[in-house]
Structure 1
Amino acid sequence: MKKTLRLIPLLGAALLVLSACGTSAVTNQSTGAWETIVYYFALAIKGMSFGQSMGLGIVLFTLAIRVVMIPLYHYQMTSSRKMQEIQPQLKAIQEKYRGLSDTESRLAMTEETRAVQKEAGVSTWSSLLPLLVQMPILWALYQALTRVDFVREGHFLWLDLAKPDQFYFLPILAALFTFLSSWLTNKAIKEKNGAMTAMTYGLPVMIFFFAFNIASGVSLYWTVSNAFQVGQILLLNNPFKIIAEREEKEAIEKEREAKKRRAMRKGKKKRK
């Protein structure tokens, strides 16, 4: 867990690096490597804008990106789930070496932790690496929506893509799907902390107010992306199914322990 906490700043650093790539307009005259990627993303959106509907292009390209990243998401969620399952063992190791700060004890704790992770087929990086890969892709898509003029312009249904949604429909949907995505992701986690709860309820509020003031093209992206995420979770990492499987395993284990106790009591009676 401590290793995970030490790696979290890397995510923030990566985001800062991408943010530092600039906020100025991107055109076909832009020469930077990052700007070139952003511009090609914008061209892809334009290419999917059938009937010259840039909003439809945003929807289709967002869905295409999310579909391409399904294997990464599935790998990340599987690794995260396995990490959650071995948390009791990892905590037991930490308790075992609590208060021991000598080098030998620290090395022993590290080795035991690695052994548990190896047996489970996971590592700290196995859940973080897919996220690091996804970040620049999603950020390039976001910047294509905000930095390339021909993507920002246009209309879709009642929306002027360059202006906020005047009926607040997209901000509400973006916040709702963000909440559902976070809630479903954390639903099956047995040991939740305050940060998870704050993120589950705080992030949708932030998204709502951002979407309330930002161009509706970006709000449309947030809505479609998070709606896809909700469906993806229900199909590939359904928390209700995970909880049911866990409860079934726990029930089987309890029954096994109960049989052992009954067998031991019978054995004692026979010896008497």
Structure 2
Amino acid sequence: MDFFKFLEPIEWVVAWIMYLCHQGLVFLGMGDGPGLGWVFSIVGLVIIIRILLIPLFFKQIKASRGMQMLQPEMQAIQKKYKGKSDPASREAMSRETMELYKKHGTNPFASCLPILLQSPIFFALFRVLNGLVPISTGDADPIGPINAAVAKDIESSSLFGAHLSDVFLKTDDLQAKIVIGCLIVAMCATTFFTQRQLTMKNMPKSALEGPMASTQKMMLYVFPFIFAVSGVNFPVGVLVYWTTTNLWSMGQQFYTIKRMPAPGSEAERLMLERKKRKAAAKGIVEEAAPVIEQPRGQRQQPKRKDRQKPGTPRVITGTTAPSDKVEDAPVDDETGGTAQGTGKGSPSPKKPKK
């Protein structure tokens, strides 16, 4: 059973897009048959696919920014469970992380969605180009509109002397090897600068620190290395496809970063500076926000206290002035105390002397 059997519908779509793009170029004046028309049909394939993926691209930008904004909270969770390797702590950390993703409406896989969706197209194009020779000789079935005659035209088309189906490790033509080597370098370089453009210019400082930032920096160099190693097995047409899609990504990201930079990033600072320069060139002076002065209350002057005249008896407020005459309280006959009882203030009766 063929493992790539599920790619057959995608191969059929890729073949039809290439064929229709070539027919459109012929209508515009390019020559029919072998030639650069089939090279540009691969470029047309990239343009059509990337236009269809534009909504997913904006979702990717939104997801990437969401991941950037939650980095401080993510670091707080990691710090909270640092050094805890028991199952309960790991489960709690995973649960809090998922709740954090849900709160911000993002997840780390959303930013990889456009690349994941392009992968089947990439492999489908790889299989279409690898099948050109068998189709042209009649050893393989046609793929959509690519029959034996069309396959022979595509296979005979070349870019600077390298056929679209040539592979670096399988061709003996030195000129083809040089062209393929240049395409591999271009593919790796555009991959590097595309990733660097996204990670360095459109991320806030908080997102450039921590384990995730270290992983992204590492992948910045790992991906080009992977493409350099695997690129020697790619046909020329696949290298053209991947280099073109990288150039598209760079242009798309450049526009997005310039117009809609991530908050707190270097790109946002540059955008604000550009707006200030444009405003200054037009003679528009940005007025500072008016400072509203809080009304000050009138200072309360201390009141003058009347001094007591000498010889005047001092009156203590809150107490009862002692009366000049104190009436004797009635004495209880039985107890000898006062009628109110013998309290602390009542004098105790004197004992008779013997």
Fold shared by both chains (TM-score > 0.5): yes
Aligned to 2:57: 73
Task: State the structure with more CA Rg.
Answer: 2
Cα pair 1:42 1:148 within 8 Å, conserved: no
Alpha-carbon shift at residue 63 of structure 1 (Å): 1.5
Identify if the C-alpha distance between structure 1 residues 178 and 129 changes in structure 2 by more than 3 Å, giving closer, same or farther: closer
CA shift, 1:148, in A, is 4.2
1:39 partner amino acid = W
For residues 228 and 113 of structure 2, the distance between their equivalents in structure 1, rounded to whole angstroms, comes to 29
Are the counterparts in 2 of residues 170 and 220 from structure 1 also a CA contact under 8 Å? yes
Q: Tell whether the 8 Å contact from 1:142 to 1:218 is kept in structure 2 after alignment.
A: yes
CA distance in 2, matches of 1:169, 1:126: 33
Q: Secondary structure at the match of 1:224?
A: helix
Deviations 1:103-150 (A, max 9, x none): 4x5565455434433332223454455554443234333433333442
Mapped partners of 2:127, 2:51: distance in 1: 19
In the superposition, relative to structure 1, how do residues 128 and 204 fare at CA in structure 2: closer, same or farther (>3 Å)?
Answer: closer
Q: 2:187 aligns with which of 174, 180, 188?
A: 174
Whether 1:143 and 2:127 are equivalent positions in the alignment is: yes
Q: 1:185 — aligned with what?
A: 198
Conserved? CA contact 2:122–2:238, under 8 Å: no
What SS does the aligned partner of 2:208 have? coil
**Equivalent position of 1:54 in the other structure:** 38
Q: Which structure shows the higher helix fraction?
A: 1
Q: Is 2:149 the counterpart of 1:158?
A: no
Deviation of 1:221 after TM superposition, in Å, equals 0.9
The 2-side partners of 1:142 and 1:77 are apart by 28
Q: Structure 1, residues 31-90: CA drift from partner, whole Å, max 9, x if none?
A: x44223213312221221123421111111111111211211221231122112102102
Cα offsets for 1:4-42 (capped at 9, x unmatched) = xxxxxxxxxxxxxxx931xxxxxxxxxx44223213312
Task: Report what 2:251 is aligned to.
Answer: 231
| The one of 266, 270, 274 aligned to 1:244 | 266
CA contact (8 A) 2:132 2:165 kept: no
In the TM superposition, what is the alpha-carbon distance from 1:237 to its structure 2 partner? Answer: 4.1
Match of 2:223 among 199, 203, 208: 203
Distance (Å, rounded) in 1 between the aligned partners of 2:230 and 2:85: 47
Pair 1:38-2:11 in alignment? yes
Identity across the alignment (%): 27
Cα drift, residue 220 of structure 1: 1.0
Judging changes above 3 Å, is the alpha-carbon distance between structure 1 residues 133 and 222 closer, same or farther for their aligned structure 2 residues?
closer
Deviation at 1:197, TM superposition (A): 3.2
Aligned AA (1:155) = S
1:206 & 1:97 partners in 2: Cα distance? 34
> In the aligned structure 1, how far is the partner of 2:87 from the partner of 2:232?
54
Match of 2:71 in 1: 87
Which structure is richer in relative contact order (CA contacts within 8 A, separation 6 or more)? 1
1:176-211 Cα shifts (integer Å, max 9, x gaps): 211111211221351365543343234334434544
The two structures, once aligned, show a CA RMSD in angstroms of 3.3
Determine the structure 1 residue equivalent to 2:241. Answer: 221
Structure 1 unpaired stretches of 5+: 1-18, 22-31, 249-272
Secondary structure of the residue aligned to 1:153 is helix
What is the aligned partner in structure 2 of residue 8 from structure 1? Answer: none
TM-score (norm 1): 0.66
Task: Kindly indicate whether the alpha-carbon contact (under 8 Å) linking 1:38 and 1:144 is maintained by their aligned counterparts in 2.
Answer: yes
In 2, Cα distance between equivalents of 1:87 and 1:173: 33
Q: Which amino acid letter does the alignment assign opposite residue 174 of structure 1?
A: M
| Aligned CA distance change for structure 1 residues 221 and 121 (closer, same or farther; 3 Å) | same
Change in Cα spacing, 1:153 to 1:93, as seen in structure 2 (3 Å) is same
Amino acid at match of 2:101: Q
